[in-house]
Amino acid sequence: MGRRVAKALAVVAVVAATALPTTPAGAATVSARVPATAHHAVGLSSVTDANFQRAVLKSKKPVVVLFTADWCGPCRQVAPRLEGIAQQHPELLGAKLNVDENPATAAKYGIRSLPTMVVFQNGKVAKTITGVKSTTALEKELVKFMTQAW
């Protein structure tokens, strides 16, 4: 009996180790085995409390900042969508700020839920978007900033 149980457990372990996660349509595909810090979108520049004024507030172009955290699953869904929009629309810059590592900026702008995206234009808050949005919904929210000539 002990061998049968051991063999069954071995089969279950192999199946579990090779099973692929399922992803809902439209969601970003990210392996469950990748550490949380690796989920951030590569194309979004990282900003910090120290460089926020120079990188965001003094920018000639509108900057949409994703306020995020490593532990935030919804943030990992939004980040690649925002990255794609920023890549397709060079008139709009995309950035991310980790609220756990940069609490001063998050507190200054009243960030209370994640993900929150804030569009800064001419050094001021021009728009705030909270929660997970599809790429289409994000584009609709940001269209005003994507069509302006800078």
pLDDT score for 4:
53
Whether the Cβ atoms of residue 29 and residue 90 lie closer than 8 Å to each other = no
- Look at the domain 39-146 and name its fold: Glutaredoxin (3.40.30)
Q: Where are the domains of the chain?
A: 39-146
Active-site residue among 41, 56, 75, 85? 75
Active-site residue among 56, 72, 111, 138? 72
Residues 129-138: pLDDT tens digits? 999 999 999 9
pLDDT score for 82:
96
User: Comparing 24 with 118, which gets the higher pLDDT?
Assistant: 118
pLDDT score for 147:
76
pLDDT score for 43:
73
Catalytic status, residue 72: yes
pLDDT score for 46:
96
At 6 the three-state DSSP class reads helix
**Structure-derived torsion over alpha carbons of residues 23, 27, 28, 30, reported in degrees to the nearest 10:** -20
Whether the Cβ atoms of residue 133 and residue 141 lie closer than 8 Å to each other = yes
At 115 the three-state DSSP class reads coil
Residues 1-50: pLDDT tens digits? 455 544 544 443 433 333 333 334 444 333 333 333 333 334 799 999 99
DSSP one-letter string for 34-88: S-GGGGS-TTSEE--TTTHIIIIIT-SS-EEEEEE-TT-HHHHHHHHHHHHHHHH
Catalytic status, residue 61: no
Residues 54-99: pLDDT tens digits? 999 999 999 999 999 999 999 999 999 999 999 999 999 999 999 9
Burial of 108 (0-12, 13-18, 19+ CB in 10 A): exposed
